[in-house]
Amino acid sequence: MSAIADDEPAPEAVLREYQRDGRAWVFVDDSDRPVGYLVGELLDGAAHIEQVSVDPRFARRRIGQTLIEQFAVWAKARGANALTLTTFVDVAWNGPYYARCGFRYMSAHELSPGLQSIRDAEAARGLDRWPRACMRRELDVTVL
């Protein structure tokens, strides 16, 4: 999967747009240096995690899960009924990790138009050379 590792991160202008719109969360270390981040958006009634990344030196400290839970709070406040994401199925820190965080794999007929569009764009970028899927975690929107 070296092609994935070589994939360019989102341009700074795109990340600044997430930041400006209040759709970016950053986790910092004790020295106030960023060690993880999540960017997301509202998509077809759900809140979609576009990217969540944690510096591997800070793995296994629940940073990713903390970012996801902060995103869930944001999503609930905006009336989203679920969290969604796309991920690699067989990479331990992807599909299996998200399953432990309460996400489930979605079947093809469950994909909203927005999720299908994201999957189509990923396939066009060559990401489907490895098993990839959409996942969903329901949100209890009755309790805020």
- 4-52 per-position pLDDT tens digit: 444 566 778 888 898 899 999 999 999 999 999 999 999 999 999 999 9
Give the torsion sign (CA, 144, 44, 84, 9): negative
DSSP state of 106: P
What the block records as the tokens of 41 is 């958006």
pLDDT over 70 (residue 2): no
Using only the alpha carbons of the chain, give its radius of gyration.
15
Q: What is the pLDDT of residues 70-118, one digit of tens each?
A: 999 999 999 999 999 999 888 777 888 899 999 999 999 999 999 999 9
| Span 49-66, average pLDDT | 90
User: Can you identify the CATH homologous superfamily of domain 2-138?
Assistant: Gcn5-related N-acetyltransferase (GNAT) (3.40.630.30)
The 3-state DSSP class for residue 77 equals helix
Q: Based on the number of CB atoms within 10 Å of its own CB, is 29 exposed (0-12), middle (13-18) or buried (19 or more)?
A: middle
